[in-house]
Structures are given as structure tokens and as C-alpha cells.
Amino acid sequence: MEPGNLTGVSEFLLLGFSEEPALQPLIFGLFLSMYLITVLGNLLIILAVSSDSHLHTPMYFFLSNLSLVDICVTSTTVPKMLVNIQTQSKSITYAGCITQIYFFSFFVVLDDILLTVMAYDRFVAICHPLHYTVIMNPRVCGLLVLVSWITSALHSLLESLLLLRLTFCTDLEIAHFFCELSQMAQLACSDTFLNNMVMYFITVLLGGGPLIGIIYSYSKIVSSIRAIPSAQGKYKAFSTCASHLSVVSLFYCTSLGVYLSSAATHSSHSSAAASALYAVVTPMLNPFIYSLRNKDIKGALKQFFG
């Protein structure tokens, strides 16, 4: 078959989780509920941090940025899926697909980098408490967030430009509930060697690099906590890291699950279900993880609504 450029084709088809008509209302209700909980929960975190002057610290500044990114991650995928279910359509335009890939890659990588920045913040707070306010001053915090956004934007731009150079055949079905980068590259008729090499390199660089930074930070944090003489002091120091460590574990475990699922099975529904864990479930759980054990957040929310 002679490959044809996608400019002559107007849309792709998203296969989603299931093609059974009876399951569509259940899937719609489930994902609508998770999306609303994600937006509301993360929005409450942002409002709590911005409204309480006691929370105008580096840790909560990074947390509010993470909450904003979590809203954006879910908003790039779920609304389109809900619209398709409601209209009984599987289509997404070529421009819409490229746009979705750009923003999803952008916010997922930004989420990863922000988790690393938050680990560094906890490292400075516990290992160098006397110099914390000097090291993590507002200028440094703003610069860390700015670099995170710029790095994520450049990564997504590179991936999108490489995707634009590909040509596609008549098979335009994407075995996913959103336009996923590797799934779309598999549909190309042209050579994807460069795309795959860049994809693997960036995965190692922007996936493995931050993970190494987080592991290093927490190895130093554990050493510092062990040196604290009192049990109460150890508990207090560890409690400031528990929420962040839980979110990091959830993010990397679900991300790893996606890649293992993709490698172990060729089932589109299994891959889509695994992706839903880190693209939808993780952003939904983050506000609960940070608020349930955090007296400052709960106090700010009570004050905000009181």
C-alpha cells in the first residue's frame, strides 16, 4: 500500500476502553465523576494555599503548581473522551490529535519535574534547616518552576514536530482513549526510527533523571532523620515528607505499569486501562493524599469556607 500524507485525511478514530454499547453509560459516569473530583479537589488545594498567608511557603507554592498541572493533565484527555461517548463518535481531528499529544506530554513531564523540585525542597528543609529560607528564597522558587515549564514545553514541541514529519496509511484507529504518542507513531507508514530513538532518549533523560534526583534527595533525608535523637523529632520530620513520597510512589508505579502493560500485552483495552491510572486516577488522588494528613491544608480550607 502506498503511504499517503495525513493532510489528505481529516481524522483519527479513538477506540477507547470498550466498544460495547451497554458499557458506555457506565464509563461516561465513572470518568465524569473522577474528572469533577480531580478538578474540585485540586482547585481547593490552590484556593487554600492562595487564601492563607501561613501557606505562602516554598512547599505549598510547589504544591499549588502541582495541583494546577494535575487539573491540566486530566483536562487534556477526559473531556474529549466524554464528548465522544455522549455523541457516540470515536473521531478526533488530526490537528486535535497533535494538540492533545503536545499538551498531554507537556503536563505529564511537568508533573514529573515538579515532583523532583518538591523532593529537593524537602531535602533542603530537613538536611539544611538553618539555611532553608536563604536557599529556597522566592526568586529561586520562581526560577525552578519557570525552568520546569520551559523544559516541558521544549520537550513537547520536539515530540510534536517529529510526529508531524510522519506519513500515514489508511489504518487510522488509535488503540487508546486519547491520542497517545507511541500509539500514534505505530500507525505511521514512514520510517519511525528517529521518533523512537528520541522517545527512548527523552524517557531515560526526563523519566530516569528526575527519579535519580528524588532517590538521592530521600537517601539524604533518611540519613538526616536517623540522626535526630528524639522519636518525636523523627516523626515530625518524616511527616513533612510522607505525602510527597506517597504521590511520587503513585506516579512512578502507575507510569511503570503503563509501560509494562504495553510491553506484555497487545490488547488496546489493557493499555488504555493502565494509562487511565496515571492520567486520571493519580491526579484525582493527589489532593486527598496531601490534605488528609496535612493539618495546615485542612485548617486553611476550614478558614476559607468558614
Domains plus CATH for the chain?
A: 6-305 (1.20.1070.10)
Q: What is the pLDDT of residue 2?
A: 41
The 10s digit of each residue's pLDDT in 11-36 is 889 988 877 888 899 999 999 999 99
Residue owning grid cell 523540585: 117
Distance CA(155)–CA(170), nearest Å, equals: 29
Separation CA 7–CA 11 (nearest Å) = 10
The Cα 241–Cα 153 span in angstroms is 28
Q: Angle 42-153-163 (CA atoms, 0-180°, nearest 5)?
A: 115
Q: Which of 111-115, 162-166, 173-177, 219-223 has the lowest mean pLDDT?
A: 173-177
**pLDDT at residue number 263:** 58
Residues pairing with 12 in the sheet: 92
| Backbone φ, ψ for residue 150 (5° rounding) | -65, -45
Phi, psi dihedrals of residue 138, rounded to the nearest 5°: -55, -35
In terms of DSSP bridges, do strands 11-14 and 91-93 run parallel, antiparallel, or are they unpaired?
Answer: antiparallel
**Residue 186 DSSP code:** T
**How far is Cα of residue 207 from the mean position of the Cα atoms in its chain?**
12
pLDDT band at 292 (very low <50, low <70, confident <90, very high): confident
d(CA 192, CA 295): 50
pTM: 0.91
Compute the distance between CA of residue 83 and CA of residue 271 in angstroms, rounded to an integer: 21
- Judge whether 141 and 173 are in contact, CB under 8 Å: no
Max intra-chain CA distance, the chain: 72
**How many residues are there in the chain?**
306
- Within 10 angstroms of residue 4's Cβ, the number of other Cβ atoms is 13
Cα radius of gyration rounded to whole Å, the chain: 21
| Residues 118-168: tens digit of each pLDDT | 999 999 999 999 999 999 999 999 999 999 999 999 999 999 999 998 888
Burial of 122 (0-12, 13-18, 19+ CB in 10 A): buried
For residues 198-225, average pLDDT: 92
pLDDT at 266 over 60: no
Of 120 and 89, the one with more pLDDT: 120
Instruction: Give the mean pLDDT of the chain.
Output: 87
Q: Where are the beta strands (DSSP E) in 89-181?
A: 91-93, 173-174
Res. 259: pLDDT tops 60: yes
Task: Determine the distance from the C-alpha atom of residue 252 to the mean position of all C-alpha atoms in its chain, rounded to a whole number.
Answer: 10
- The alpha carbon torsion through 196, 201, 205, 207 (nearest 10 deg) reads 30
